[in-house]
Structures are given as structure tokens and as C-alpha cells.
Chains A and B, each alone.
Chain A
């Protein structure tokens, strides 16, 4: 039924996380879900982002409690290591489930 289907699509759209609607932020979270921890420079290399843009996206994710940062030194140089938090993992799973559901509904 078209009305029921529209309602389902609207429900699913509500489950999409706005924070992860941005492609770079989604990429960061997926990479951190796959790997235990990634450094700032490795994220920059993988995402092909500028320092400023990547820093801004990471700060947004950190503020929302999706990721956590741990600063360490390697060969006397500071290295920022990022990890996905439990909250971030749940948020990402919910977002990816909603994306899959949306594809199934629309196809």
C-alpha cells in the first residue's frame, strides 16, 4: 500500500543519523568500526581530506560522543589515536541498518 509504504520510509528516514549523513563522518566511523584505532594522519591519508576539514569532522564526532581521542608520542612527535565509542558503534549500526532498510523499501 502506498500510504503504508510512505509511512515506513518516513520512519526509516527518522532512524538515519544526521551526524552520519556527512560522507566523511560516515567514512571515519566505518573505518573506526573496522579497525581498533586509527591515527589522524592515517585517517587523513585514507579519506583524502585536508587537515582543517578532517579536524572539524573529528571534533563534531567527538563532541557527540561517537569517537574518543587518545594523544600519545611516537619518536617525540604527538600522535592522536581515534577510537569508536560504544555509543558511536550503536549509532553507526542503527544508521547502516536504516540505509539498508531504505534501499529494500525503495527497490
Chain B
């Protein structure tokens, strides 16, 4: 067997694996979180009393729905990835746990009001940045928006959370559309 043939074989299998990775993180998951974030962030400005209650329900439910959508997309496309699914479940449940622990700072009275939301935003931004490094580079943009948004909350008072939520939701929707197109072209 010649080195050239081995090199060609390695190039071939690398391309195959890259092509097979294209359907990870289905667009529907990004649309789901665009809706959750748009509503959840605006609650901080318009109904601060219900922010905790909303995220307590929306975060785990959104996580479960994301897992379900990922699995459904995989089945429809004929590709199952138990290992990737497990990795996502461990990562995101870890982030959810840390977020809940951060909420406890507010519940126990160590931090108050808007500071609780700001601390949680920083935790989530860090988590999404990690997801950008580990899973999907698009999370880096979203984490960047959260970091910029956090800075804005230090200087602005009115509707900054709603604006940040809408910006994140718009970015998530654009990513979903882009991924949808990419998946469709990868299928050909």
C-alpha cells in the first residue's frame, strides 16, 4: 500500500466524518431558545416578580425539549449519536445546576434584585462561551452578546434586558436559518 493511497484514504474518511457532523444542533433548538429568551429577558423589565418562576420552569423544560428535538432530528435524518447526546446532557445540566446555585445567593439574601439577574447572566454567558468552544462556535457570538449586555446593565436602566433578549432571539433565529440552509446543502 502506497503512502499516497493511505493519505487519500485518510483525507476521504476525514471528509466523510466532517460531512456527517453537519446535522448536529438542529435549527429547531435555536428557534425554541429564541422564543424562551425573548420572553424570559423581557420579564426582568416588565414583570420582575415572575422572572424566577419563569426560568425555573423554562430552563429544565427547554433543556428536555432540546434533547427531544435533537433526537427527533437525528432519527429523521438517519443518524443517532448517543455519545454526543450524553455529552450535551452532562454539560447543560451542569450549567443549570450552577445557575440554580447562583439563584440561591439571591434566595438567601446575599445579593438582591437586579444583581441576582446580572450574576446569573454572567454564569450563563460563561456557560455559553464554553459551549461555543466545545460544541458549536455560534454560542461564542451569543455569549459575546450576553457579556456586552451585562456591561449595558451596569450603565443603563430602562429596557436593557428586553433589548438584550430581542438581540439574542434575533441572533438565534439568524443562526437557525443559516443552519437550516447548511443542513439542506449537506444533504445533497
| Set B3, B9, B13, B78: member contacting A39, Cβ < 8 A | B78
Asked if A102 and B16 sit within 8 Å, CB to CB, the answer is no
Judging by beta carbons under 8 Å apart, are B78 and A42 in contact? yes
Given A23-B9, A74-B75, A107-B3: A31 and B16 within 8 A (CB)? yes
Q: How far is the CA of A85 from the CA of B100 in the complex (A)?
A: 41
Confirm or deny: A38 has a beta carbon within 8 angstroms of a beta carbon on chain B.
Answer: yes
Q: Is B77 an interface residue (CB 8 A)?
A: yes
How many pairs of A and B residues are in contact by the CB < 8 Å rule?
63
List of A residues within 8 angstroms of B187 by Cβ: 45
Instruction: Tell me whether B75 and A31 are in contact (CB under 8 A).
Output: no
Q: Contact at A30–B17, with CB atoms within 8 Å? A: yes
* A35 vs B81: C-alpha distance when bound (angstroms): 5
Give complex CA distance A37, B74 in Å: 10
Of the residues B12, B17, B83, contact of A23 by C-beta under 8 Å: B12
The closest CB in chain A to the CB of B77 belongs to A42
Size of chain B's interface in residues, with CB distance under 8 A? 21
Chain B residues within 8 Å of A30, by CB = 13, 16-17
Q: Which A residues are CB-close (under 8 A) to B77?
A: 42
B3 touching A38 by the CB < 8 A rule? no
Report yes or no: A47 in contact with B83, Cβ–Cβ below 8 A.
Answer: no
A37 and B9 CA atoms in complex are apart in Å by: 22
* Residue from the list B3, B13, B78, B79 in contact with A27, Cβ < 8 A: B13
> Is there contact, CB below 8 Å, between B6 and A102?
yes
Among A16, A27, A41, A43, the residue within 8 A (CB) of B1 is A16
- B6 with A37: CB separation less than 8 A: no
A interface majority secondary structure: helix
1-54 of chain A: CB within 8 A of chain B: 13, 16, 21, 23, 26-27, 30-31, 34-43, 45-47
Nearest-CB residue, chain B, relative to A105: B3
Q: Distance in Å from the Cβ of A61 to the closest Cβ of chain B?
A: 15
- A105 → B minimal CB distance (Å): 9
Q: Is B151 an interface residue (CB 8 A)?
A: no
**B3 closest partner in A (C-beta):** A106
* Closest residue on chain B to residue A75 by CB atoms: B76
Chain A residue contacts of B78, Cβ below 8 A: 38-43, 45, 79, 81
28 examples of A-B residue contacts, CB within 8 angstroms: A16-B1, A23-B12, A26-B9, A26-B12, A26-B13, A27-B16, A30-B17, A31-B20, A35-B20, A35-B79, A35-B80, A35-B81, A36-B80, A36-B81, A36-B82, A36-B83, A39-B78, A40-B78, A42-B79, A45-B187, A46-B16, A46-B19, A74-B75, A99-B9, A102-B1, A102-B3, A103-B6, A103-B7
Nearest 8 CB-CB pairs, A to B?
A: A39-B78, A42-B78, A36-B82, A37-B80, A36-B80, A30-B13, A106-B3, A27-B16
